Amino acid sequence: MKRVLTLLAAVSMVASAYGQAYEFRYNGAADVIFSYPPRGSGGRAFVHDANNVLTINYEGDFTNGVKIGNSFWVTNNGRTGIGTSNPQEKLAVKGKILAEEIKVTTASADWPDYVFKSNYILSSLRETEKYIQKNGHLPDVPTAEEVESDGVSLGHMNKILLKKIEEMTLHLIEKDKVINRIMERLEKLESTK
């Protein structure tokens, strides 16, 4: 490594001899300095290209983490921002995300299988209708205003949606039973004619 750094330092000195303003310096400790004085600050461990694509240790001494271009940041507290320089979560993206798969794990044990337990009290469709008329959304589902202002957790929302699907399934099973009883009665009535 020392030979490579010595070679690079020699190349830097030759470039300087031709009047270039670039600098490469290794101080023997942990500091490797690349700087481009017209734009760079000459601080520790800076890497620049013509479009300032990669900057490591911007603002000096790693106080603000790592910046790559003008849209990717890794802060000292382990947060990564894409399109935002001040990520408030472990990963913050200002823009759309394209992925083949996203897996969300949940720490809570309240997955909605409890809907199928015998002691679960299923609201009637009439009660649900009254709630919707009064509140403008399904019970337990956040309002549009809440989602707009606070966002929504995918894991939490998936649990809510699954609960609603399971409740609908129970209602459909009950309705199917009612329809089958009505059909049996109709068949009996028609057979007695």
Each domain of the chain, given as residue ranges in start order, spans 2-93, 112-191
With cut-offs at 50, 70 and 90, classify the pLDDT of residue 73: confident
Given a cut of 90, whether residue 142 has pLDDT beyond it is yes
With cut-offs at 50, 70 and 90, classify the pLDDT of residue 176: very high
With cut-offs at 50, 70 and 90, classify the pLDDT of residue 127: very high
Given a cut of 50, whether residue 180 has pLDDT beyond it is yes
With cut-offs at 50, 70 and 90, classify the pLDDT of residue 181: very high
Of 10, 33, 8, 37, the residue nearest 22 (C-alpha): 37
Residue 130 and residue 141: Cα distance in Å, rounded? 15
Given a cut of 50, whether residue 141 has pLDDT beyond it is yes
**What pLDDT, on the 0 to 100 scale, is given for residue 47?**
46
3-state DSSP assignment of residue 160:
helix
Of 136, 131, 120, 135, the residue nearest 171 (C-alpha): 120
Residue 181 and residue 14: Cα distance in Å, rounded? 95
**What pLDDT, on the 0 to 100 scale, is given for residue 139?**
96
Segment 78-106, tens digit of pLDDT: 899 999 888 999 999 999 999 999 888 87
Q: What average pLDDT does range 147-171 have in this prediction?
A: 94
Residue 121 and residue 180: Cα distance in Å, rounded? 24
